[in-house]
Amino acid sequence: MPERLLLIDDDADLGPLMTEFFTERGLSLDCALNGKAGLDCAFANPYDLIILDVMMPGIDGFEVLRQLREKSKVPVLMLTARTEQASRIRGLEGGADDYLPKPFDPLELLARVRAILRRSGPAAPSKVLEANGVRLDPGARSVTQNGQPVTVTSIEYDILEVLIRAAGSVVSRDDLMNRLYQREATPFDRSIDVHVSHLRKKLNDSDALIRTVRGIGYQFCSPEPGQ
């Protein structure tokens, strides 16, 4: 079965164009023209990814994202105005996996969609990972800390898995961007930084578990000898 996508965007002309574009490339796309209809669709159907526009009348994209994240971990790619850096950060802070400025190249959208689908799809059987009290089950894509469940989004899980697999070593931002987004990092792309900040809050961590190595990247700290 093709992966199933949902586009929530009030541009009535965009939906049919995107539906044809994705169908020709082996993906299924449903469309909703406003936030309420989008939420109804999202909660009634098992989508693999949601493409969500920020600027919509009534319920805007940020509110749609907030309500989605109360009930669902489905990956979300937000469409933002090209000049609004604040909107991109707000979307990431709200739990979006990635963003793409409008107007966009459909092939770039496709590349970002496929990158998200690749890393959020079913995981191959793998043994449980554990470091410093944080335990990951790759099969269930679940996280616990000291035995207590930690709710994370799809992209947060993936970042944490990469860092724990390399526990004790520094993972560069460029490496994280390439592995998770299949694109190069840019000086103005805050995606990884925002998601790491979220992980720290959820793990009640300042800089003890996930250490920032300035100018390079991040390190998941291994327990000290004897601990």
- 187's CB contacts (< 8 A; 6+ apart) are none
Hey, CA dihedral for 3, 6, 190, 165, is it positive or negative?
A: negative
In this structure, the answer to whether residues 150 and 204 fall within a common structural domain is yes
Continuous H helices in the chain = 14-23, 35-44, 61-71, 85-93, 106-120, 154-165, 173-181, 191-202
Please list, residue by residue across 89-110, b when 16 or more beta carbons sit within 10 angstroms of its beta carbon and e when fewer do: bbbbebbbbbbbbeeeeeeebe
**Could you tell me the residue range of the domain that residue 141 belongs to?**
129-220
Q: Is the pLDDT of residue 178 over 60?
A: yes
Q: Does 18 lie in the same domain as 107?
A: yes
Residues 31 and 137 in one domain: no
Using the structure block, give the residue that is written with the tokens 């920032």. Answer: 212
88, 140: one domain? no
Measured at the alpha carbon of residue 45, what is the angle toward residues 8 and 162, in degrees to the nearest 5? 80
- Residue 125: predicted pLDDT: 62
Judgement on whether residues 137 and 76 belong to the same structural domain of the protein: no
Q: Residues 99, 157: one domain?
A: no
Is the same domain home to 160 and 114? no
Q: How far apart (Å, rounded) are the C-alpha atoms in residues 210 and 195?
A: 12
pLDDT of 47-89, one tens digit each? 999 999 999 989 999 999 999 999 998 999 999 876 677 888 8
The DSSP secondary-structure symbol of 4 reads: E
Neighbours of 198 (CB within 10 A): 18
> Computed over its alpha carbons, how large is the radius of gyration of the chain?
18
Last residue within a domain, chosen from 93, 120, 147: 120
**Whether residue 107 is found in the same domain as residue 199:** no
53 found inside a domain: yes
**Would 226 be classed as within a structural domain?**
no
pTM (2 decimals)? 0.81
Judge whether residue 143 has pLDDT over 60: yes
Across all residues in the chain, what is the average pLDDT? 89
Check: CB of residue 218 under 8 Å from CB of residue 210.
Answer: yes
Domain boundary (103, 120, 137) is at 120
Instruction: For residues 147 and 70, state if they share a domain.
Output: no
Residue 46 has pLDDT above 50, yes or no: yes
- Of 100, 120, 140, the last residue of a domain is 120
Which class for 59: exposed (0-12), middle (13-18), buried (19 or more C-beta within 10 A)?
middle
Rounded CA-CA distance 199/193 in Å is 10
Q: Total domain count for the chain?
A: 2
pLDDT given at position 60:
95
pLDDT in the model for residue 226: 46
**3-state class (DSSP) for residue 217:** strand
CATH of the domain at 141: 1.10.10.10
Per-residue pLDDT tens over the stretch 110-128: 999 999 998 876 656 678 9
